[in-house]
Amino acid sequence: MKVGFIGLGNMGHAMARNLLAAGHELSVYNRTREKAESLRQQGARVADSPADAARGVEVVFTMLADDAAVEGVAFGGSGLLAGLGQGALHVSSSTISVALSERLAEAHAKAGQRYVAAPVFGRPAAAEAKQLWVVAAGAKADVERCRPLLEAVGRGLSVLGERASAANVVKLSGNFLIASMIETLGEAFALTRKSGIEPKVFLDVFQSVFARSPIFENYAVQIAREQYEPAGFKLRLGLKDVRLVLEAAGAAEVPMPVASLVRDHFLSGMAQGKGDLDWSALGALAAERAGLDGK
């Protein structure tokens, strides 16, 4: 299949490479061109603009950091909407707001194009190992059309119906669960440390009693070791996602007090210059609030 891929950060680069490995013909674009050049050596064509990456392909992926980045590559004279052909499909794998996802669906429909939201769960290592979990929504025929591509980048796929933004609601809800889990882990480690219990001891108990999910266990290890670099997912992006959760909750009139609390802790981290640490640095903030020294 002829595929465009826009956004070659830690996640996007690995996803694009897995699409190449699956035998698809790829055109790639990244704002920093150097990140695209390594994929040229593996057979990809390096595009000069988002419109160029989308031109002549059946499906174009976007995998970018936030709403502003997606808007920047989607709209305007050099945006992917300008290059994508009639009936061609945009698969948005970015974690973006529900409102932007709905705007994209409307814009593609007006242009005679198709749109599927397909954000993913997993960190860069999972993307490398093709272990992402994809949540997709959009017209049934469109999801089926891109299913081979979605299966090429992950270990599984959940299809959530025909309203594309439903996938964004599920992705944001999932990230809220992770953020809440990190916060409670941080508080539990802070309490046990201040009570004179070594983090390694509590980690052993946690792994023996509570650990059934690799996500839960991995973040517990990071907090116990105070290992917040390198960032698999930056704290500033965690703040962005929780803000989007609260935006969606406000629109749906759903009170989420814990989400508001977690947002405030992320804001504290930003104010202290921790925005580029892994978002598990919520554990460091919990320790500081308890009067504990870091490493």
Instruction: Identify the CATH number of the domain in which residue 99 sits.
Output: 3.40.50.720
Within a domain: 239: yes
Within a domain: 295: no
Between 216 and 144, the higher pLDDT residue: 144
Within a domain: 120: yes
| Residues 56 and 91 grouped into a single domain | yes
Q: Which residues of 139-149 are buried (b: 16+ CB within 10 A; e: fewer)?
A: beebbebbbeb
Q: Domains in the chain: how many in total?
A: 2
User: CA 88, 117, 164, 79: dihedral to nearest 10 degrees?
Assistant: -50
Burial of 280 (0-12, 13-18, 19+ CB in 10 A): buried
Within a domain: 200: yes
| Residues 237 and 271 grouped into a single domain | yes
**Has residue 16 got a pLDDT over 90?**
yes
| Residues 19 and 149 grouped into a single domain | yes
Note whether 90 and 80 are within 8 A (CB).
yes
Domain boundary among 138, 163, 188: 163
Tell me the average pLDDT of the chain: 95
Q: Model-level pTM?
A: 0.90
Within a domain: 294: no
Bond before 148 cis per omega within 30 degrees: no
The percent of residues above 70 in pLDDT, for the chain, comes to: 99
Domain boundary among 163, 187, 207: 163
Q: Which residues of 40-52 are buried (b: 16+ CB within 10 A; e: fewer)?
A: eeeebebbebbbb
- Reading the block at residue 190, the tokens are 């802070």
Q: What is the pLDDT of residues 48-103, one digit of tens each?
A: 999 999 999 999 999 999 999 999 999 999 999 999 999 999 999 999 999 999 99
Quickly list DSSP for 13-72.
HHHHHHHHHTT-EEEEE-SSTHHHHHHHTTTPEEPSSHHHHHTT-SEEEE--SSHHHHHH
Apex 151 CA angle, 145 and 156, nearest 5? 125
- Nearest CA-CA partner of 234 in 188, 282, 187, 171: 282
- Nearest CA-CA partner of 4 in 104, 89, 121: 89
Within a domain: 88: yes
Q: Give me the domain span that covers residue 137.
A: 2-163
Q: How would residue 242 be classed by pLDDT, with cut points 50, 70 and 90?
A: very high
| Residues 277 and 244 grouped into a single domain | yes
| Residue 294, phi-psi category: left (phi > 0), alpha (psi -120 to 50), beta (remainder) | beta
| Residues 178 and 69 grouped into a single domain | no
- Catalytic positions are 171
| Residues 131 and 65 grouped into a single domain | yes
| Residues 96 and 216 grouped into a single domain | no
Amino acid letter, 209: V
pLDDT of residue 116: 98
Mean pLDDT of 170-191: 94
| Residues 156 and 177 grouped into a single domain | no
- Reading the block at residue 111, the tokens are 């242009």
Q: How would residue 295 be classed by pLDDT, with cut points 50, 70 and 90?
A: low
Could you identify the residue written with the tokens 């802790």? 265
Instruction: Identify the CATH number of the domain in which residue 230 sits.
Output: 1.10.1040.10
